Amino acid sequence: MVMRQKVWIDQHVQGVLVGRVILYWSGILLYFGLSIGCYQWWQNPEWTMAQHMGAMFEQVGPCLPTLFLLLPLVIFDIVRLSNRFAGPIYRLRTHLKELNQNSNTCPLHFRDDDYWQQLADPINTMQLKLLTMEQQLATLASLQMSLGGVNLSTVPLQREAPTAVDDTQSPPIPIPITMPTAAAAVTGAVN
């Protein structure tokens, strides 16, 4: 397993998670503080506020260091856990930027313990199709140059099958070259 070099990967996503941990931690402290304070007041209504605060601190005081030491540990654990889903999205984003600049980049892969492993396969398939289309386009461009500068962009290409020519019509209907026919012509001309 490859260890991450960066712990803080996506400031927005991980920052929200850290904020939620601090919010929940503060809410829990407030809840227990108020509930212990209400219980103290209910048990001893004749006490002054200073007596209630002293008794409450005696009850809660031994737990406070643990609560304050536990918060950074929980935050660190949440950030490390979020790396398992923020890391793949970060890697996907950088891979798409590289793919935009150069389609002949390495295939996308994630670490073994990352979530969303299934995202890599469709991206790699799309990258392979893009690379194939760029190679076909380069082959067509070289074929155009070898044909003496005939502009292949004016040749209509369509995806549906060509229609049959009716001999009774005048003038005859031209059959446009379909995409597979053009690809076959290019591969046949190159071979």
Using alpha carbons, select from 31, 25, 122, 110 the residue that is nearest to residue 66: 25
Domains in the chain: boundaries: 8-87
Within 9-153, residue ranges assigned H as helices are 11-43, 49-60, 64-101, 120-146
Cβ atoms of residues 173 and 162 within 8 Å: no
Q: What is the pLDDT of residues 93-120, one digit of tens each?
A: 999 999 888 878 889 988 888 888 888 9
With a cut of 50, say whether residue 154 has pLDDT above it: yes
pTM: 0.59
36 phi/psi in degrees, rounded to 5: -70, -40
User: For residues 175 and 162, is the Cβ–Cβ distance under 8 A?
Assistant: yes
Q: Write out pLDDT tens, residues 2-59.
A: 566 777 888 888 999 999 999 999 999 999 989 988 988 899 999 898 998 888 888 8
Q: Is the pLDDT of residue 177 over 50?
A: no
Query: Rounded to 5 degrees, what are φ and ψ at 158?
Result: -140, 160
pLDDT at 184 exceeding the cut of 60:
no
